[in-house]
Structure 1
Amino acid sequence: MIMYKSEKLVQHIKQLIENGSYSANTKLPSLRAQAQVTGYSLMTILNAYQTLIAEGRVYSKEKSGFFISEYNYNTYQKTNTVETSQPQKIKINSKVFSYLKQTQASDYIYFSSAFPDEQCLYNTKIMKILAHYAQQKPIGTTNKNMPPGNLKLRQQIANRYILQGIPTQADDIIITSGALDALNLALQTLTQTGDYILLQDTIFYGAWQAAERLGLQVITLPTHPQYGFNLQAFEDLLQAYPIKVCSFMLNSHNPIGFTVNDKIKEKIASLLEKYQVYLIEDDTYQELYYFGQKPLPMCYFEHQNRVLHCSSFSKVLGANIRIGWVRTETFSEKIQHLQLMSTLAANTLIQETLANFIATPYYDKHLQKLRKQLYQRKNLLYHLLLRYLPSSCHIHYYSSGYFLWIELPNHLNSTALFQILLSQNIGITPSHLFSIHEVPHNYIRINSSFHMDSQHKQAIISLAHAIKYLIYQRMPALLHYFKTDSNAFRRL
């Protein structure tokens, strides 16, 4: 049966509502904004919005636009049984090392990149400030940028928490050399070798690497298919194991993309207090929401200082701006002592530059422009994938960040697909890097932030062809086919 464009848009918006990307009273893109992203006519989009209004999913306000109706998030269904791994020590670092070594070619198409396209991140104002401080001799005394970090920068970061209703002082902030450094320091502060920690079963591989390095016993929390976070499983695990620390990504999750809604965050906070467990929150993508208000971190919801909140600037200003931080009211001194024995201090010049850049209106203007670009590029790639991928693939789309999480047919192996595309200098990230479970890995992560020129579009077509070929061919024959004929993709 042929699905009309308006029906496709209706189904797409329904999916965003059901997976929590659109919460109650979120404003939908205007008719013109939606037309720019989808390529559909204004009448097609209006028909889709009117259909959603008729179904009670959307309501309109005169001269204001279209909004998501009140959606019942209390229909959360408890799972009767929870499948979890037994406590285990992690061995994933060699996998990550091998993967990163294989994806370093200069002529690579980096759908595998963990960072947004550099063209989106470049900002002339921060470059001018950086050049100004680089010419000064000296930049400033080294001591004022030692742990806990540049005071002015910490004050600026604290101010951004205050704007979200989270009382924060500069002394609650410790500047680190990026988000991964922040996560490692926080985890090292709260744990000792052999301690039990709880991680989401699918999570950024840096969390697994940290657990491996520190010799921790890991319990995994299954992902909820609708809300992302499985509350019932969370409490079951807190009851069953002596878990000391949880480490979660709740906003713009990497790799899946979901943002946990506030009602669930409130319940997480109450369970942390009930079971006296600490939480390290990786909130690296906190600024990359598309619509509405900035999502709240967990430290907004809890009142016993049990959350160590970690973030960084690298995903909004570039990989070279490797400055992160930990917010904690309780463990600042201990983290600083650990810093002095490891990374010592974050880059002095970059700290000074950021402190002055964030104090200007240019930082928020940069964020607004970045969000708009990422939204447009993600939607463009999403619709391109819908056009070319087999219908047996499912694309998990969420309104934030710059990753698309793609579910392949059950019998396909994402690692094999990665190796095939690698021979064509096309990078994707296979799901075995995000999980420690020995289960069929039939998911891939795609970076959606790149400008969709002819080269990137051809790479998407090649990806689709490779998936289709894998569906119908035996793997050994396919591998031989691509190894012996470098032009195979072009003829598919």
Structure 2
Amino acid sequence: MYKFEKLARSIHQMIEDGIWKAHDKLPSLREQSELSGYSLMTVLNAYQELEAQGWLYAKDKSGYYIAERADLEINSNKEILPAQEKIQINSVVFNYLKDTQAHDIVPLGSAFPNPELLFNNKFMQLLSQHAKRKNSYLNHPNMPPGNLELRQIIAGRYQLQGISCHSDDIVITSGALDALNLSLQALTQPGDFILLQETVFYGAWQAAERLGLNVVTLPDDPESGFDLDAFEKALKQYPIKVCWLMLNAQNPIGYTVSAIIKKKIAQLLFQYQVHLIEDDVYQELNFGKEKPVSVKHFDQHNMVLHCGSFSKTLGMGARVGWVFAGSYSNAIQHVQLMSTLTVSPLLQNALVDFVAHHHYEKHLRSLRRHLDQNKKRFYQELKGRLPEDCQIHYFPTGYFLWVELPESMDSQQLYIDLLEQKISIAPSLLFRPKHTAQNFIRLNCSFEWTDELATTLDQIIYQIKKNKKA
């Protein structure tokens, strides 16, 4: 398929999906060229092709417009829900993060576990020891792709899961979000189509907005967490370049997709030649006896870039992540050298000692045990207080509860009202900005149960009931 045909197909699909309607003006040739990354001639050929097919009409010295076709019917019940070209969520997330960072806010909207559980004395001791060593500050051995010993340790952890991995496959990053963004930037160009879950971590929406990407959303599945039929339909229907999915302890809902479904996802990715950026930062926080597998476990063709991090297990102060990039390692390093450059040498060196000597595994066992206890207690207390027309989505992993409020309620207004009482929650607008139903909230339940927390929960319930009556 020629480039102009690919662009024409993308525009045609957006017309069918109702993103552009009859007599809407398309971006100018130059604007479309900047948006899509194609040359002016490619854009012109695409517009002329659609004009010949009757989808567009041209006005002298004005540009191209959407034609009014009698046989054009927009199906409002499509299973696949494409978002607008222009994703606009950065300002929402910015305001949310600024509003909730005050020290006197009860952080039930926080994305990080209770810092008291993440703080580890041994890791701090190792960090202090390395802080006294001149070599621990040297950049050269820690420049992209990162500290060799740390990459070897991470590669070894993959091998223990039955995944073939070499240290050269790993690129160390400044946290998981950096790994995810670098991967997306290395694999896409402005105007490309990516696929996201309908309800997903807001960082994915922010990345789509920043890179000028078109988003196709995959509907939430209340049973399995992932609708394979809808997934394959999306891969057939749209020119998807990359999927960004979270399938273990999914944020914000909390489900973990079965290994059977993950294997099928890997097969479909290869069949349709679509890459997956797998956001797996919560894999270590599963409360079961066995760690859940990733799609990367079933990837035989380097279609999956797997991203992980230490920050969700050791805290924001240990903001070190990685991407298992395989043959895309060099491409990601090129992007990294033009942005974040390198990751703290001090942190990388301390993590080598901490993880290599099994301190990390001991820390993880304690962390999982406390998160499990705290989440169960929080769930029971919340369940006993919530009105009957509210539903809690509970899964035995991670530290979030996804709460479904009555359909008439606006979780954004609830968030604003509670913020005035110094309580933060995470409203669904952060996770599903293009969806009309905004009656969900995410609660962080990683904190130990106390009288103060009980009072806070009572305030939340009172505000929910008050907003119901309004």
Smaller-chain TM-score bracket: 0.7 to 0.9
Once the two structures are TM-superposed, the CA of residue 83 in structure 1 deviates from its matched residue by 4.5
**TM-score w.r.t. length of structure 2:** 0.82
Aligned residue identity for 1:200: Q
Distance 1:85 1:207 in 2: 15
Matches within 5 A, 1:298-337: 298-337=295-334
Give the match for residue 399 of structure 1. Answer: 396
Aligned partner letter, 1:110: P
Q: Are the equivalent residues in 1 in contact too, given 2:138–2:345 (CA < 8 A)?
A: no
The letter for the 1-side match of 2:306 is H
Return the alpha-carbon distance in structure 2 between the equivalents of residues 398 and 298 of structure 1. Answer: 20
Aligned in 2, Cα 1:86/1:415: closer, same or farther, shift over 3 Å?
A: closer
Which blocks of at least 5 consecutive residues in structure 2 are unaligned?
1-76
CA–CA separation in structure 1 for the residues paired with 2:353 and 2:449:
34
- For 2:372, the aligned partner's letter is Y
Q: State how far apart, in whole Å, the 1-side matches of 2:235 and 2:295 are.
A: 18
Distance 1:128 1:415 in 2: 42
| Percent of residue pairs identical | 52
Q: For 2:382 and 2:94, how far apart are their aligned partners in 1?
A: 29
Distance in 2 between the 1:383 and 1:228 partners?
23
Q: Which residue number in structure 1 is paired with residue 73 of structure 2?
A: none
Q: Counterpart of 1:188? A: 185
What corresponds to 1:484 in structure 2?
none
The count of residues paired between Structure 1 and Structure 2 equals: 394
Structure 1 segment 112-151 matched on structure 2, within 5 A: 112-139=109-136, 141-151=138-148
**Pairs within 5 Å for 1:255-274:** 255-274=252-271
2:411 equivalent to 1:414: yes
Residues in 1 aligned to 2:272 and 2:228: alpha-carbon distance in whole angstroms: 14
| Structure 1 residues without counterparts, runs of 5 or longer | 1-79, 475-492
Does residue 455 (structure 1) correspond to residue 458 (structure 2)? The answer is no
Letter in 1 for 2:391: H
The 3 A distance-change label for structure 1 pair 385 and 327 is same
Does 2:212 align with 1:215?
Answer: yes
C-alpha separation in 2, matches of 1:155 and 1:302: 20
What secondary structure is seen at the aligned counterpart in 2 of 1:281?
A: strand
Q: How far does the alpha carbon of each residue in 1:274-306 deviate from its partner, in whole angstroms, 9 at most, with x for none?
A: 100000000011100001211111111121100
Q: Report the 3-state secondary structure (helix = DSSP H, G, I; strand = E; otherwise coil) of the residue aligned with 2:316.
A: coil
Q: Structure 2: how far apart are the matches of 1:167 and 1:243?
A: 27
Could you tell me which residue of structure 1 aligns to residue 51 of structure 2?
Answer: none
1:244 aligns with 2:221: no
1:356 corresponds to which residue?
Answer: 353
Q: Is the 8 A contact 1:290 1:375 kept in 2?
A: yes
Letter in 2 for 1:342: S
How far the C-alpha of 1:137 sits from its partner, in A, is 2.2
Give the residue type in structure 2 aligned to 1:386: K
SS at match of 2:305: strand
Task: Check whether the contact 1:172–1:332 (CA below 8 A) recurs between aligned residues.
Answer: yes
The 5 Å alignment of 1:47-446 reads: 82-86=79-83, 88-139=85-136, 141-446=138-443
SS at match of 1:404: strand
Between the aligned partners of 1:87 and 1:424, the Cα distance in structure 2 is 35
Whole-angstrom distance in 2 between the partners of 1:81 and 1:434: 21
1:252-274 per-position Cα deviation (integer Å, ceiling 9, x unaligned): 00000000000100111111011
SS in 1 for 2:301: coil
Q: How far 1:157 moved relative to its partner?
A: 0.5
- Give the C-alpha shift of residue 388 in structure 1: 0.8
Q: Please state whether the residue corresponding to 1:309 is helix, strand or coil.
A: strand
Q: How many Å apart are 1:89 and its aligned residue? A: 2.5
1:355-378: CA deviation from partner (whole Å, max 9, x where unpaired): 110001211010000000000000
Paired amino acid for 2:118 = L
CA distances 1:54-108 after superposition (whole Å, capped 9, x unpaired): xxxxxxxxxxxxxxxxxxxxxxxxxx96151355321110111111111122111
Secondary structure, counterpart of 2:312 in structure 1:
helix
Q: Match of 2:283, SS?
A: coil
Q: Aligned AA for 1:325?
A: W
* Aligned structure 1 segments of 4 or more residues deviating by more than 4 angstroms: none
Secondary structure of 2:93's counterpart equals helix
Give deviations 1:448-478, integer Å, cap 9, x for gaps: 0012211111010111111112222x2xxxx
Q: 1:56 maps to which residue?
A: none
Greater mean alpha carbon deviation, residues 138-147 or residues 111-120: 138-147
* Paired residues of 1:89 and 1:218 also in contact (CA < 8 A): no
Cα offset, 1:438, TM superposition:
4.2
CA distance in 2, matches of 1:213, 1:86: 15
How much is the aligned-residue C-alpha RMSD, in angstroms? 1.1
Which whole-Å CA distance do the structure 2 matches of 1:216 and 1:83 have between them? 17
CA contact (8 A) 1:87 1:196 kept: no
SS at match of 1:331: helix
How far does residue 330 in structure 1 lie from its aligned partner after superposition? Answer: 1.1
Q: Does 1:464 pair with 2:461?
A: yes
Give deviations 1:185-241, integer Å, cap 9, x for gaps.
000010001001000010000000111111001110001111111111101111110
In 2, Cα distance between equivalents of 1:88 and 1:375: 40
